[in-house]
Amino acid sequence: MRRVVITGVGVITPNGNSFDCFSDSLQKGLSGLDEVPAFKKAGFPCYIGGQVKHLQDTTLQKKFPTMSAVNDRKVCLGLQAFLEVSKYLPDNYNPCAIHLGTSLETFLLEKVFRMSPYEFNMDTYINNIQEHGENPYIEAPLDFLGNLISTALSLKGPNYLNCSACAASTQAIGHSFHMIRDGRYNMMICGGFDSMLNPLGIGGFSRLGALNMENDLKQKAICPFDIRRQGTILGEGAAIFILEEHEHALRHNRQIFAEISGYASTFDAFKLSEPDRGGKGIYAAMKQALSDAHLSNDTIDYINAHGTGTPTNDKVETIAIKNLFGQKAYSIPVSATKSMIGHLIGASGAVEIAAILAMFRDHFIAPTINLDKPDPECDLDYVPLTARMTTVNTVLKNSMGFGGQNASIVLKRYDPNPV
Amino acid sequence: MVCSLGYHLNTVVESILLNKTQFSKVPFKTEWFKDRQVALVSDANPRDIVDNSKSLRYMSREAQLAVSALILCMKDAGLYDSIPYDQNETALFSGTGSSGIQLDSISKFLSHAYHPETGQFDLERFGNQALYKINPLTSFQILPNMPPALSAIIADIKGANLVFNPWEGNALLAVYEALWEIHSNRAKLVFCGGSDCKTHSNAFITFYEYGLLTQSDVVMSEGSAFLAIEAPETGRYKDKDIYCVIRYMYHESYVDSRGYSHFHSPDVYDEMIRTTIMKSCLQPMDIDLVISSCDFTHLHDQEEERILKKYFSCPMISPKKNIGNTYAAAGIINMAVGAEILKNKHKVQGKEISRILITSFAPGSEKFCIILEKP
């Protein structure tokens, strides 16, 4: 069977604008969350967010002139991550496919009123578009980032865009792994990008009751697996990877960050807004991913949880882990990267996989910060508060999407000569 | 399949072959687009199809159409509430359209989002007033994964899944990936399909901005289709009647940096058709019918027709001319039309059809040529 390895990573998150910075922040347990001044001033019910600082818009505009067709924060974040990962691209990368994950289109409210002030009128809007000429799209299609990357690299391969909410980028990476393992490609560019830090993003999630509104808690507003958890906090970011077939990577003398050995996706088929209370969907995804990797339960030495900090999600994920691993579940470290960066929705899986690569490289397990008072129903080893300096070799990563889509992926420390 | 000509596949195909249409005026107030037509699904009410019709209130129009089409597909395949099958080994791959916020549905909230003096977007007024006018259900309705997610809940499908977005070709990737999923023994049965709703005001604005509405006579449409795909040697259908065999599916990608409205070089499509025929070990004369991806763009349609006529002398149909352009659902609908023609022996220009070539060269980077044939 063909092996699949990760040979490049680019990442931008609320607590680190590069892979090295991100790793450093994870080891120190640094939160990237803060008040978003504009949302605070505007009286939003939740104004804590994981905002990326110092995004170099001008540099990006110079490198990707056609990005002026969008005014979409998540595309900028994706391009920033792509710039970092592109350093790892070999001279000859074709044929190469793209598979990215994100959640939904960004709707430019500012533009709506710029083109049609006061009460919205469609004809006024179109007339003003005509008059003012070039403008960013009111909402850019989701495959726009892939098109920019494909054009920049003159790629000769497809541009896949998966939009399964919070599971989107884990699915994109997992599916890319299958595409290489099946012999369809030797190299793929994959990952995720997203930003919900816009009025409709924060507004929509607030109205759903999914966010913690206790703004006074500031960075502690998201506390996965803690008894006080009341909701998640939104963030933004992107992570993009180069995946390669193992022999191909060796032939080209590539740096190898990790190996992907298994992946599966499932549906809860339960309810729209909440996971199956018994965690059957994510349980099945984990079980099938291990089976796909030809690994037994006792090989997993760390689980990177979906861990959103919502009351139901953390409990359900804990139940699923216990059901799958039995008594051994209590000895497997499980941590929630979202405690430091917030919930990056469509980008969450990809950025959390970048966190796992950092843990492999720098020999640590990232903590679940803000876990001061563990929920008795969440009684696993969640690596509370501080990072653990140790070596992990085989990691399971979970993602659970709004709407009941789940994904689990198995990553291994790279071993050139596995038993 | 659900489209503007109904939801009984047999009668829809008969209507297409009789060149019937059912178009109407745009369903929203506009001077700019008043002369344009839309193809609304008016005769197929999702409430007649979905047993638990209460759940429909959570759904966008696109999701309602997707759920309806999937249930019709499952019933047709004898898999809905009758024959047990392994839900965990059943995958659902689909393509959805750019969801779009239907401006009509958020007009109340927009009215509270601008500064009373300047008329421009006002974040403070948004935070204090407009935010509380957002219907929480809107969040369920705008996520583009909702059509398949809701379909999975209603149909109790629990296996592998992917949701491609937002073009015709991206939805056909669902079929392409279904074939790989089966080939790699990761799924025994895959429901794959597409859905889209492009009949609302925001779709018109968005597509106008993409340059897809300016120079063409496209009829914006809505609809959905799902196909049940199984390997003949492992599928339940070993001894049963099947619709058709997917003999070959050729996939190419062409990203055009100039934007979505630009027509690729005709050479690209010429090469794809030539390669499809060659790789499927057929001759052009073996094709009895072509279902083309005609998208109402004058240049595209003329060029596609010219290239197709270079290879084929058989009849050609373009369902988009009858049911409008359903965008993300259009390629899958064309496949469903082809499958129905083959299964129920619809005659085209008096001739029985054994093998069909379907093209999908619509906007978006992913292009397909598919050959369906009688089992």
Of the listed A96, A246, A343, A378, which one is catalytic?
A343
Least CB-CB distance to A272: which of B58, B111, B206?
A: B58
Cβ-nearest to A404 among B152, B177, B183: B152
Separation between Cα atoms, residue B233 and residue B235, nearest integer Å: 6
Closest CA to A305 of A415, A400, A376, A241: A400
Measured in angstroms, the CA of B344 and the nearest CA of chain A are apart by 33
Decide if A76 is catalytic. no
Q: Which of A166, A190, A223, A378 is catalytic?
A: A166
Active site residue A294: no
Q: Do B161 and A266 touch (CB under 8 A)?
A: yes
Give percent of chain B with pLDDT exceeding 90.
67
**How many CB atoms lie under 10 A from the CB of residue B306?**
12
Q: Which residue has the tokens 């909440």?
A: A274
Q: Which band of pLDDT confidence, cut at 50, 70 and 90, is reported for residue B99?
A: low
Which residue, among A27, A23, A29, A28, has the nearest Cα to A11 in the 3D structure? A23
Given CB atoms, is B86 within the 8 Å cutoff of chain A?
no
pLDDT band, residue B84 (cuts 50/70/90): low
Q: Which of B52, B67, B109, B161 to mutate to test the interface with A (most CBs of A within 10 A)?
A: B161
Across residues B46-75, what is the average pLDDT? 84
Q: How many residues does chain B have?
A: 375
Reply yes or no on whether the pLDDT at B258 is more than 90.
no
Q: Which residues of A touch B31 (CB under 8 A)?
A: 123
pLDDT tens-digit profile of A198-224?
999 998 899 889 999 999 999 999 999
State the smallest CA–CA distance between residue B37 and chain A in angstroms.
Answer: 17
Q: Supply the pLDDT for residue B266.
A: 85
pLDDT at B366 over 70: yes
Chain B, window 19-78: residues with a beta carbon less than 8 angstroms from a chain A beta carbon: 28-33, 58
Look at residue B237 and tell me whether its pLDDT is greater than 70. Answer: no
Q: How confident is the model at residue B257 (pLDDT cuts 50, 70, 90)?
A: confident
Containing H/E element for B210? none
Higher pLDDT, B58 or B126: B126
Q: B98 to chain A: which residues are within 8 Å by CB?
A: 105, 139, 141-142
Position B215 confidence tier, pLDDT thresholds 50, 70, 90: low
Dist. CA A258–CA A6, nearest whole Å: 5
Instruction: Check residue B188 and give its pLDDT.
Output: 87
Which of A43, A66, A112 lies nearest to residue B124, judging by beta carbons? A43
Which range (B80-94, B186-200, B329-343) has the least confidence? Answer: B80-94
More confident residue, B256 or A288: A288
Which tens digits make up the pLDDT trace of B329-363?
999 999 999 999 999 999 999 999 999 999 999 88
**Confidence tier at B216 by pLDDT (50, 70, 90):** low
Answer yes or no: do A42 and B127 touch at CB < 8 A.
yes
The alpha carbon of residue B137 is apart from the nearest alpha carbon of chain A, in Å, by 8
Query: What per-residue confidence (pLDDT) applies to B42?
Result: 86
- Does any CB of chain A come closer than 8 Å to the CB of residue B186? yes
Least CA distance to A202: which residue of chain B? B131
Q: What does chain A come to in residues?
A: 419
For tokens 């496919």, what's the residue? Answer: A97
Instruction: Please give the Cα distance from A346 to A104 (Å, whole number).
Output: 8
**Is residue B239's pLDDT more than 70?**
no
List the single best residue of A4, A64, A109 to mutate versus B (max B Cβ within 10 A).
A109
**Tokens matching residue A200:** 């409709």
**Cα–Cα distance measured from residue B275 to residue B336, given in angstroms and rounded to the nearest whole number:** 23
pLDDT at B255: 82
pLDDT computed for residue B240 by the predictor: 60
HEC sequence for chain A? CCCEEEEEEEEEECCECCHHHHHHHHHHCCCCCEECHHHHHCCCCCCEEECCCCCCHHHHHHHCHHHHHCCCHHHHHHHHHHHHHHHHCCCCCCCCEEEEECCCCCCCHHHHHHHCCCCCCHHHHHHHHHHHCCCCCCCCCCCHHHHHHHHHHCCCCCEEEECCHHHHHHHHHHHHHHHHHCCCCCEEEEEEEEECCCHHHHHHHHHHCCECCCHHHHHHHCCCCECCCCCECEEEEEEEEEEEEHHHHHHCCCCCCEEEEEEEEEECCCCCCCCCCCCHHHHHHHHHHHHHCCCCHHHCCEEECCCCCCHHHHHHHHHHHHHHHHHHHHHCEEECCHHHHCECHHHHHHHHHHHHHHHHHHCCECCECCCCCECCCCCCECCECCCECCCCCEEEEEEECCCCEEEEEEEECCCCCCC
Query: In B, which residues are within 8 Å of A200 by CB distance?
Result: 101, 134
Of A42, A114, A135, the CB nearest to B123: A42
Q: B233, B183, B143: which is closest to A210 by C-alpha?
A: B143
- The reply to whether residue A161 touches residue B165, judged by beta carbons under 8 angstroms, is yes
The parts of chain A modelled with pLDDT lower than 70 are: 134
A50 Cα to chain B: minimum distance (Å): 19
Per the rule left: phi > 0, alpha: psi between -120 and 50, beta: everything else, B6 is: left
Q: Are A113 and B143 an interchain contact pair (Cβ–Cβ within 8 Å)?
A: no
The mean per-residue pLDDT over the stretch B320-328 comes to 95
Q: Which chain B residues touch A35 with a CB distance below 8 Å? A: none
Q: Which residues of B touch A270 (CB under 8 A)?
A: 153
**What pLDDT is recorded for position B298?**
67
Residue of A167, A409, A395, A411 whose CA lies nearest to A268: A167
Q: Do B165 and A143 count as a contact with CB atoms less than 8 A apart?
A: yes
Check residue B102 and give left, alpha or beta (phi > 0: left; psi -120 to 50: alpha): beta
Instruction: Report the pLDDT value the prediction gives residue A99, as an integer from 0 to 100.
Output: 98
Residue B238 has pLDDT above 60, yes or no: no
Count of CB pairs separated by less than 8 Å, A with B = 244
pLDDT band at B300 (very low <50, low <70, confident <90, very high): confident
Q: Which of B86, B117, B120, B170 to mutate to test the interface with A (most CBs of A within 10 A)?
A: B170
Task: Please confirm, yes or no, whether A166 is among the known catalytic residues.
Answer: yes
